[in-house]
Amino acid sequence: MKDSEVRKKELTRLLSFHDEAYYRLGKPTISDREYDRLKVELDSLIDSDDQLDLFSGTETESNFKAFPIPPLVGDDRLEEFTSHQHLSPMLSLDNTYDETEFFDFDKRLSRVLKTDSWSYVVEPKIDGVAVSLTYENGNLTKAATRGNGIEGDVITQNILHIKDLPRKILSNDFPDLIEVRGEIFMEHDEFERINQERRSLGLDLYANPRNLTAGTVKLLDPREASKRMLKIVLYGLGACTPSGYFSSLFDFHQSLKDWGFPIVDFFSKVSSATDAWGKISELNKFRESYNYPTDGAVIKLDSLLLQELAGSTAKAPRWAIAYKFESERQQTFLEDIQLQVGRTGAITPVAYLKAVQLAGTTVSRASLHNADEIERKDIRIGDTVVVEKAGEIIPQVIGVDLTSRCKESKAFVFPSLCPCCETQLEKAEGESVWRCPNSLCSDQVKGRLEYYAARGCMNIDSLGEAVIDQLVNRSFVKDLADLYFLTKQDLLTLEGFADKSAENLLSSIEKSKEQDLWRFICGLGIKHVGTSASKDLAKAFRSIQSLMKATDEELTSIDGVGTVMANSIYLFFMDEGNQDMIAKLEEKGVNLSLGSVIDDTEMIFQGKTFVLTGSLTQYTREEAGLLIETLGGKVASSVSTKTTYLVAGPGAGSKLAKAQKLEIEILSEADFANMIMLKK
């Protein structure tokens, strides 16, 4: 085989690996720039007659549907989702990082269009997840991902919570059918909030807002998706009936505005490539102020007629190009690699860097993710490394400048012992994270205490990192319960403590005894159990004692609790150390229940899920719901295999049919009332 053939094969394999990582797994392992370089190299190796040109000139829907070869734009489809065939393909864009290439694009167009007067529109390239919204008679009927460009996954339910998503076109003037294209994204604050929660739960962090957005739109449970705040912005036109409804992108953009759709912040119509270049530079200055991440500018022919004349390749239109902005990179010296032990024992290697200015902030630390990542990039202490901000936020070491590597440097050896307690580290099969298995490891204890005291859990004022360090180092505190045994004398021996500060800390610890049950459950730091699961568990089990006794079946019958979480809860309470700790907390009077309005023997609906349908006469929906919850049950809005009873009043429709199909017990309102009276 020719060298170039071997390289072509290699590049094709590499690109398909990275496509899978980016589109389907939502976990890219290289930067966009590196990916683009590989793609450019492959394109240059492919002979021009290899280039597929199926969509050039005027393209009809039917020849599109008969598309005979694999698509060239990646594929995000998952088996669990319903497929939707786009009425007009969702293509990719040709990219460039180079000014000359941008002007070449303009020259190519002049040859194809055979005219020298046309307009461009310039707008931001949003680094989100592409979506196609279908509106029929002005109503949103479907939202789909790009998929393979021809067929996408239907994600309507997962994005309906987006506040700005127009369910209806707010005007009397709209086409019968229209596909509106745009991008779903997540704002930085929301990304940080979610990663912060994951960090405290000991879970892997999302690399950037784009990946988190991609993961969110593909969640199997729309209620989970609705807990993450997504946003949307719209810019593109797919199929439209009647055709000819719009004559230019400028008109289309104006209609989006009139219809009340969220649109891009920067939209400029210009009449030459030179003016477009001016706008690209202007956009680069403003883009930091937008609430979505942008990685470039998109320059498109304004006239839809000229677009049709220019045509498309199988991959991208010839009437548009993306000019990608370089994300800022800096070289700096890697002074050290240190390992951090999280509260779940996860070991995170951190790069300590010679401070460097990067995209507006001083960077002196960067996450190295895990041992595999250090090995793959062969990062060594003493190296000059290249740092970039992933998704423009989190600093990452993206590579090493090998030309300045010192000859004596040695590959970094990931320690086999915990840097804190020297216990042998462990790695579960299929995981890339090393963990310290010693739950008494003082770094883990410190992490657990910080988590327990945090605002989102028990909210213990003045119990911060520095105090916790001293309490653990001096062996005053070995577990959460020890906090409640602290005395003023103990605290006065600590650095920085006097009468007043000691009393303040003791009083906030004392106050925490009255915190809500869900906060306590959350504060225990059980792996996978975050705020919302803690609330559900508190409501369902009403006390730590019943949660401790819960069977796997009872746990998984709760919406949002899957087998992984149930197993983690089970393992936590199986641990004798944790059992002793709970006993000590109880002895000290920490609130471990929801209150005793009803004693445990009255919890007749514990672990049972009800769905109410049809009209009820004896109770209002609210009253029935409240009764069920007070007696330990749960009310769900839709029938599923997790439903225990369907209470059906007159007029019950599809829910009744579904319950019958799933052989779920159906109760009349009278049956339900009897159950409560007889408490059976």
Residue 209 as a binder of ligand IVH (CB under 6 A): the answer is: no
Backbone φ, ψ for residue 332 (5° rounding): -155, 175
Q: Candidates 119-127, 282-290, 340-348, 402-410 — which segment interacts with ligand IVH by CB under 6 A?
A: 119-127
Across 554-570, b (16+ Cβ under 10 Å) vs e yields bbbbbbebeeebbeebe
Task: With CA atoms as reference, report the closest residue to 340 among 195, 207, 197, 202.
Answer: 202
Instruction: Rank residues 298 and 387 by Cβ distance to ligand IVH and give the closer one.
Output: 298
User: Minimum Å distance from CB 320 to ligand IVH?
Assistant: 6
Residue 91 as a binder of ligand IVH (CB under 6 A): the answer is: yes
Residue 207 as a binder of ligand IVH (CB under 6 A): the answer is: no
Instruction: Rank residues 124 and 633 by Cβ distance to ligand IVH and give the closer one.
Output: 124
Backbone φ, ψ for residue 426 (5° rounding): -130, 155
Q: Candidates 86-94, 102-110, 278-286, 612-620 — which segment interacts with ligand IVH by CB under 6 A?
A: 86-94
Tracing tokens 């979480």 back to the chain, one arrives at 565
Instruction: Rank residues 93 and 387 by Cβ distance to ligand IVH and give the closer one.
Output: 93
Q: Candidates 88-96, 279-287, 356-364, 449-457 — which segment interacts with ligand IVH by CB under 6 A?
A: 88-96
Q: Candidates 87-95, 203-211, 383-391, 555-563 — which segment interacts with ligand IVH by CB under 6 A?
A: 87-95
Q: State which of positions 126-155 bind ligand IVH (CB under 6 A).
A: 126, 130
Q: State which of positions 374-393 bind ligand IVH (CB under 6 A).
A: none
Assess contact for 131 and 154: CB atoms under 8 A.
no
Instruction: End-to-end CA distance of the chain: give it in Å, rounded.
Output: 77
Which burial class, exposed, middle or buried, applies to 122 when counting CB atoms under 10 A from its CB (0-12, 13-18, 19+)?
Answer: buried
Residue nearest to ligand IVH (CB): 130
Residue 211 as a binder of ligand IVH (CB under 6 A): the answer is: no
Distance between CA atoms of 373 and 540, rounded to whole angstroms?
A: 41
Residue 23 as a binder of ligand IVH (CB under 6 A): the answer is: no
Size of the residue set binding ligand IVH (CB under 6 A): 15
Compute, in degrees rounded to 10, the torsion defined by CA atoms 552, 557, 563, 564.
-100
User: Minimum Å distance from CB 233 to ligand IVH?
Assistant: 8
User: Minimum Å distance from CB 183 to ligand IVH?
Assistant: 5
User: How many beta carbons lie within 10 A of that of residue 170, not counting itself?
Assistant: 12
Residue 86 as a binder of ligand IVH (CB under 6 A): the answer is: no
Assess contact for 129 and 209: CB atoms under 8 A.
no
Instruction: Rank residues 112 and 421 by Cβ distance to ligand IVH and give the closer one.
Output: 112
Tracing tokens 């998704």 back to the chain, one arrives at 391
Residue 235 as a binder of ligand IVH (CB under 6 A): the answer is: yes
Task: With CA atoms as reference, report the closest residue to 228 among 204, 263, 201, 197.
Answer: 197
Backbone φ, ψ for residue 80 (5° rounding): -70, -10
User: Minimum Å distance from CB 91 to ligand IVH?
Assistant: 4
Query: Applying CB under 6 A, which of residues 76, 183, 443, 450 lies at the interface with ligand IVH?
Result: 183
**CA neighbours within 13 Å on the CB side: how many for 446?**
20
Residue 236 as a binder of ligand IVH (CB under 6 A): the answer is: yes
Chain Cα centroid distance, residue 485: 40
Instruction: Rank residues 144 and 540 by Cβ distance to ligand IVH and give the closer one.
Output: 144
Q: Candidates 315-323, 415-423, 482-490, 566-574 — which segment interacts with ligand IVH by CB under 6 A?
A: 315-323
Which burial class, exposed, middle or buried, applies to 325 when counting CB atoms under 10 A from its CB (0-12, 13-18, 19+)?
Answer: middle
Q: Candidates 45-53, 91-99, 158-166, 509-517 — which segment interacts with ligand IVH by CB under 6 A?
A: 91-99
Residue 125 as a binder of ligand IVH (CB under 6 A): the answer is: yes
Residue type, 6: V
User: Minimum Å distance from CB 223 to ligand IVH?
Assistant: 27
C-alpha dist (Å) from residue 492 to 479, 483, 496: 20, 15, 8
Assess contact for 165 and 140: CB atoms under 8 A.
yes
Q: Tokens in use for 196?
A: 């912060």
Residue 105 as a binder of ligand IVH (CB under 6 A): the answer is: no
Residue 92 as a binder of ligand IVH (CB under 6 A): the answer is: yes
What does the per-residue mask of binding to ligand IVH show for 322-361, with x meaning CB under 6 A?
x---------------------------------------
Q: Tokens in use for 11?
A: 């590049």
Q: Candidates 221-229, 282-290, 316-324, 660-668 — which segment interacts with ligand IVH by CB under 6 A?
A: 316-324
User: How many beta carbons lie within 10 A of that of residue 472, not counting itself?
Assistant: 19
Classify residue 621 as left (phi > 0), alpha (psi -120 to 50) or beta.
alpha
Tracing tokens 């979506």 back to the chain, one arrives at 131
User: Minimum Å distance from CB 297 to ligand IVH?
Assistant: 8
Candidates 27, 125, 163, 227; catalytic one? 125
User: Minimum Å distance from CB 30 to ligand IVH?
Assistant: 16
- Give yes or no: 231 in active site: no
Characterize the bridge pairing of strands 665-667 and 83-85. unpaired
Task: With CA atoms as reference, report the closest residue to 524 among 568, 589, 472, 471.
Answer: 568
User: Minimum Å distance from CB 232 to ligand IVH?
Assistant: 12
Residues that bind ligand IVH (CB under 6 A): 91-93, 123-126, 130, 183, 235-236, 298, 317, 320, 322
Q: What are the catalytic residues? A: 125
